[in-house]
Structure 1
Amino acid sequence: MRKTLLSKTFFTAAVLALAVIFSSFQPEGKYTITGHFSELPDGTVMEMIPAGTHKDEKPVGTAIVKSGQFTFTGSVDGPRYFFVKIADGGYSGFSLMVENAAISVTGKAAPGKGGKGLTFSDIQVKGSQSHAAYEEKSSLRSRLNVLYEAYHERGKAVTDELTAARNAKDTVLQKKIMTSDAWKQFEKEEHEFFQTVGNAIDSLVIANKDTWWGPFLLLNNFSYLTPEQKPLFEQFSKEAKESYYGQAVYANLYPKSYIGQKAPSLAFADVNKQPVSFASIAKGKKYVVVDFWASWCAPCRKAVPALKAFYTENSKDVEIISVSIDKKDTDWTKADKEENFPWHSYLDRQGLANAYQVKAIPAMFLLDAKGIVVAENVTLDQIREKIK
């Protein structure tokens, strides 16, 4: 009897062990990402977008929420950084370092400020070793944020005074505040803070110069790269330079020039998403200015009056195409109506910003009537000089 009982116990344990093994089996070379957010309504569409490359990337997958859960499956050639977000939900989402493994993500999704969108918090990731490493390497941000909050708290009184003076459009008071000892102290501390930030990021990148982490951290800690970061790139190992993120850094720091060549893209689409012929836009003109902007870009919108004045003076020979990089049609159409452009205006539906390697806006390119690039990333004054 005892032998039989032991046999049954052993058999039951073995079956349970096998069940656990098979239930957690992950196909080699594949990832499965399971999100658990009880606050997400059924039917919510989630999308997974490549991030960290300084490109306007498109989703590589979508998933539908059911009973607070959603699942993405696929494969990656190596650890890749993604942003998982609610489709058409603005920036409601969270970052995730993905590798080929069974990955579980839990957290909270609460209404954002003013009840707009959702804010994801308390994100916990299991199953991704690269995500754990990412969190450790990203801890620098939280340490720097403590310093940021500290010097802003010390300068709160004088910055509040200056903000009030600006809102009141009191230029005399603004000048007085900006020559005060309190403001000079705040500027001194701000300068020292950004020096600390620069040195800390450089040190972090160089500490990881022999692997893909080096170029990834360079991209992840800068909104856009400038020639100032070239010395950092040159210190990367061959492996790091040739990695996925190494190539992305190279493309940012050493962009291909199209001057004297056909524009990288002339794929414009109207409000109905129908293609618009560049030849029809340029007909009868000598030059075409392609102007990248967005509804949320204050410098872009501030430059509109000068651009309109330029167009009035030169519309006989020059056409303008404004290309918005807004994520939502509604944001673009609202701003487009407000600005009332007297020229062609389209939303970037064809990856134009990526093709033109736009890193920051406003950004303008001058083409001739055949679509040949005459000048890249130029100011309005430089365009004036070119068309003379």
Structure 2
Amino acid sequence: MKYTLIALPFIALQFGARAQEKLPFTLSGDIKGLSSRYIYLTYAESADEYRTDSVLLQNGRFTFKGNLVQPVEARLYMDKKAAMYGEGDMASFFMEAAAMKLTSATGRLKDAKLTGSKAQLDQDLLNAERAPVMKKLKPLSDAYGKMNLEYIAAMKAKKPEAELETYKTKLDKLKDQMEPYYDQMEKTDKAFITKHPNSYVSAQLLRFRVSAMPLQEGEAFYARMSPAMQQSADGLEIKKELDGLRSGSPGSPAHEFTKTDINGKTLSLADFKGKYVMLDFWASWCGPCRKGNPHLKELYSKYNAKGFEIIGISDDDSKPEAWKKAVEQDGIGIWRHVLRGLDWSKREKNLPNPEDVSDYYGIHSLPTKILIDPNGVIIGRYGGGGEDDEAMNRKLAEIFAKGV
């Protein structure tokens, strides 16, 4: 299972800078059985307006009014704190500039159905296509969620390391069991995007799928979108993702960086010219990354004397001690290690973060490996948005069979 770095419970859409006309919408609701209390609606209203409205429920009924540039995914909830973490009773749906109605006969927002939105009809169709896989995935997902809460509680209680490792092992096993269903879900989503290239639902799907696709596949999906959809909020973000992925894909020059390594020494990618270099983007908390370290050690032992180097680039900027501990535990201190340079305070404010190496290589999931030739040109990408480890093995065998 890959660990996606951009996944969040709810992400506001980013709109293009081009001025667009706002049109009015009305969202009325009838949620049977709810007592009088405030209910909240959150959505992206425009390029620089992320809006949360509230109204008072009266006998389960409410009305929201506002303006939209284009269809957007919204969230309706009553518990602010739970909603912040994607928990509790809530409804997610696609709103658009129209008169819409949300109804539920059970008193639960999760059971509510929206009418009056064409974009939501597409989402309903996608949900129906996903349903068979979701039915099989849900028991595993629920078990994982429950165990993860137990693991977090154990960490807070400062339980012995052996007990924490037991939780990690069980969580990793559940992830492995879920992986085939995630693969099926990916195929379902791609089929939907292919059938509906100009749906806002497809654009949002592609926005969050494209960073894990090979560059050519993502470009092909993008090319099938209409010019208008390419200029939509998600269309612009898809292009941004593709541009980042292109910079970290074969044929592009490798971004040169200078960092302080795990031992306090200066490391510059430029100093490795003349050698084949594998950039290993990983993290101490990434189970698949750690599982892959024995194989990386084998490759390093096999090819290092022939001119092969590895540079580990960790996503542990906020927890450097965990990074150092993982390097020691896994015995991978035989090659150089640096932190990626992520500054969350800048990321949260959408400010430039020029020290973040991952951004220059289009890294959005872990593990991802970038292979660079002696001239500083990328010749392989493995993991997120690239090929698999078997392709990596073949590439290295081909290179060093030539007696380089």
Greater gyration radius? 1
TM-score normalised to structure 1 length: 0.50
TM-score normalised to structure 2 length: 0.48
Relative CO higher for 1 or 2, CA cutoff 8 Å, sep ≥ 6? 2
